[in-house]
Amino acid sequence: MPGSRFAIRTRAALATATGCLTVAACGVATSPAASPATSAPVAPPSASPSATGVAVPEPTGATPTAATPTAGPSTTASPAPAGPPEFSAKVSRVTRERLRYSWRPGCPVPVGDLRLITMTYWGFDDRPHTGELVVHEEAVDDIVSVFRRLYGWRWPIYRMRLVDVYKGDDFASIDADNTSAFNCRPATGSSSWSRHAYGRAVDINPRENPYVYADGSGSHSNARKFLKRPLKAPGVINPGDRVVRAFEREGWEWGGDWSGVKDYQHFSMGGG
Q: What is the pLDDT along the chain (272 residues), one digit of tens a residue?
A: 444 444 444 454 444 444 433 434 444 444 444 444 444 444 444 444 444 444 444 444 444 444 454 555 555 666 666 789 999 999 999 999 999 999 999 999 999 999 999 999 999 999 999 999 999 999 999 999 999 999 999 999 999 999 999 999 999 999 999 999 999 999 988 889 999 999 999 999 999 999 999 999 999 999 999 999 999 999 999 999 999 999 999 999 999 999 999 999 999 998 77
Q: What is the pLDDT of residue 235?
A: 98
Q: In the prediction, which pLDDT does 57 show?
A: 44
What Rg value do the Cα atoms of the chain yield, rounded? Answer: 53
**Amino acid 270: pLDDT:** 84
165 three-state secondary structure: helix
203-238 burial: b if 16+ Cβ within 10 Å, else e: bbbbbbbbbbeeeeebebeebeebbeeeeeeebbbb
Q: Can you give the pLDDT at residue 75?
A: 54
Q: Is 185 exposed, middle or buried (0-12, 13-18, 19+ CB in 10 A)?
A: middle
- Nearest Cα to Cα of residue 113 among 173, 204, 200: 200
Question: Could you tell me the strand order of the sheet in which 114-122 lies?
Answer: 89-93, 114-122, 128-136
pLDDT for residue 83? 85
- Cβ(16)–Cβ(8) below 8 Å: no
CB atoms within 10 A of CB 180: 29
